[in-house]
């Protein structure tokens, strides 16, 4: 590894599985001094930090709850850390049928995916160093309008919009804010959120072979590599963008 994040401190929300876990692992492999990893399940989070090692710190935190974001901030302050990077990655994906969607479904998706991202970054902003970086996990669905996913699609469009606005809002501190939009990626959200069965999961590879120019479904590590690029000095003049990482799926 190149140690591009040597001695740096980062936060990865939703870091116990999937893309978030892959980001945290890559940061540590690249020399990060400390990575705070958040999640809603203490059991899953503990397993994650055990795998990540002693430089990872688990903080049970629901990004939809402002009091828990304050707890995350306090934990970092107690360690005396200043943040180099914030990865606002936590989010959910659940189907909703337009015409049958109830208020509770709307609130759940927007509380986690939009309110959670907004207040994660706002709460931790005082701890982020000038010249630091924020990476927001959006999705290609913000531009695709996937069927029966209107809440998820719209929530990720809001996340992409935050990157533009905050790049402007934070220009005085030279903080870069970018959005990362994964395409088809094999993560636990398919089982836990979308409730896909074994047959649907098996069919994903065949679907990707037809519609993705590169012909396969991404692994979390593929997305994490792009996330680290956006956070690193390699992207020092990249600001306010949406980096689509989908093997060409939305480009043809």
**Residue 208 forms part of a structural domain:** no
- Is 200 within the bounds of a domain? no
Cα R_g (the chain), whole angstroms = 17
Phi-psi region of 240 (alpha: psi -120 to 50; beta: other; left: phi over 0): left
pLDDT tens, position by position, 117-156 = 999 999 999 999 999 999 999 999 999 999 999 999 999 9
102 located within any domain: yes
Residue range 84-107, pLDDT digits in tens: 999 999 999 999 999 999 999 999
Which CATH number does the domain housing residue 46 bear? 3.40.50.720
Q: How far is CA 57 from CA 19, 28, 83, 97, 176, in A?
A: 17, 12, 14, 38, 25
Give the residue numbers spanning the domain of 25: 9-185+220-245
Residue 205 domain-assigned (yes or no): no
Condensed to tens digits (0 to 9), the pLDDT of residues 178-204 reads 999 999 999 887 878 788 888 888 889
Q: Is residue 60 part of a domain?
A: yes
pLDDT of residue 201: 85
Which residue numbers are catalytic?
A: 152
Does 196 map to a domain?
no
Q: For the chain, how many structural domains are there in total? A: 1
Which residue's entry shows tokens 């590169």? 214
pLDDT of amino acid 192 = 83
Whether residue 1 has pLDDT greater than 80 = no
* DSSP calls for 171-207: GGGT-EEEEEEE-SB--THHHHTS---HHHHHHHHHH
Residue 107 β-bridge partners: none
> What average pLDDT does this structure show over 74-81?
98
- What's the pTM? 0.95
- DSSP state letter for 250: G
Given this model, what pLDDT does residue 73 score?
A: 98
Look at residue 14 and tell me if it is in a domain. yes
């Amino acid at each position: 590894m190149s140690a591009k994040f040597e001695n740096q401190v980062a936060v990865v929300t939703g870091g116990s599985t999937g893309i978030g876990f892959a980001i945290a692992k890559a940061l540590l492999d690249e020399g990060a001094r400390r990575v705070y990893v958040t999640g809603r399940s203490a059991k899953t989070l503990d397993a994650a930090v055990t795998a990540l090692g002693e430089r990872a710190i688990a903080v049970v935190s629901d990004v939809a709850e402002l009091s828990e974001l304050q707890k995350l901030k306090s934990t970092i302050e107690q360690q005396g850390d200043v943040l180099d990077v914030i990865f606002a990655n936590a989010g959910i994906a659940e189907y909703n049928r337009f015409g049958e969607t109830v208020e509770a479904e709307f609130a759940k998706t927007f509380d986690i995916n939009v309110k959670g991202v907004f207040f994660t970054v706002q709460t931790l902003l005082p701890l982020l160093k000038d010249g630091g970086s924020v990476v927001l996990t959006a999705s290609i669905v913000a531009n695709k309008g996937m069927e029966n996913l209107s809440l998820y699609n719209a929530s990720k469009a809001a996340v992409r919009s935050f990157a533009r606005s905050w790049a402007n809002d934070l220009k005085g501190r030279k903080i870069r804010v970018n959005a990362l939009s994964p395409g088809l990626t094999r993560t636990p959200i398919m089982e836990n959120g979308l409730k896909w069965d074994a047959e649907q999961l098996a069919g994903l590879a065949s679907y990707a072979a037809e519609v993705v120019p590169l012909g396969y479904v991404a692994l979390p590590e593929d997305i994490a590599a792009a996330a680290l690029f956006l956070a690193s000095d390699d992207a020092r003049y990249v600001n306010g963008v949406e980096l689509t990482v989908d093997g060409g799926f939305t480009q043809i």
